[in-house]
Amino acid sequence: MATVRYFAGARAAAGRSADTVDAGSVKELLDVLAERAPLARILPACTLLVDGLACHELSTPLTRVSTVDILPPFAGG
C-alpha cells in the first residue's frame, strides 16, 4: 500500500490530506485515483513526486513504503 499525500486543490478534490492505495506502479495508482470523480478532473494537470522525486514514467514501481505526493499547478509568486 503506497501512501498518497494530497496538496492544495488535490486535497480539496480528494476531501482528505492523505490516503493509502494498493498499487504496484504509478499507472495503477492513477487508475485507482481516476475512479474518484473529483480527482479525475485534476489529475492530468498534477505533478507527481514518488519518494520525493519528480515522476514522469507511468511504469515507475511502487512499494508498500512508497510515498506519492500529488501537487496541482500552483499560481502566484
pLDDT of residue 75: 67
pLDDT of residue 74: 79
Q: Which domains does the chain have, with CATH numbers?
A: 2-71 (3.10.20.30)
* CB proximity list for 42: less than 8 A, separation 6 or greater: 9, 10, 13, 72
| Residue matched to cell numbers 520525493 | 52
Reading the block at residue 31, the C-alpha cell is 487508475
H/E run at residue 13: helix 9-14
Q: What is the rounded CA–CA span in Å between residue 24 and residue 29? A: 7
Contact by Cβ (8 Å): 14, 29: no
pTM here is 0.90
Encode the chain (77 residues) as per-residue pLDDT tens digits: 899 999 999 999 999 999 999 999 999 999 999 998 788 889 999 999 999 999 999 999 999 899 999 999 876 65
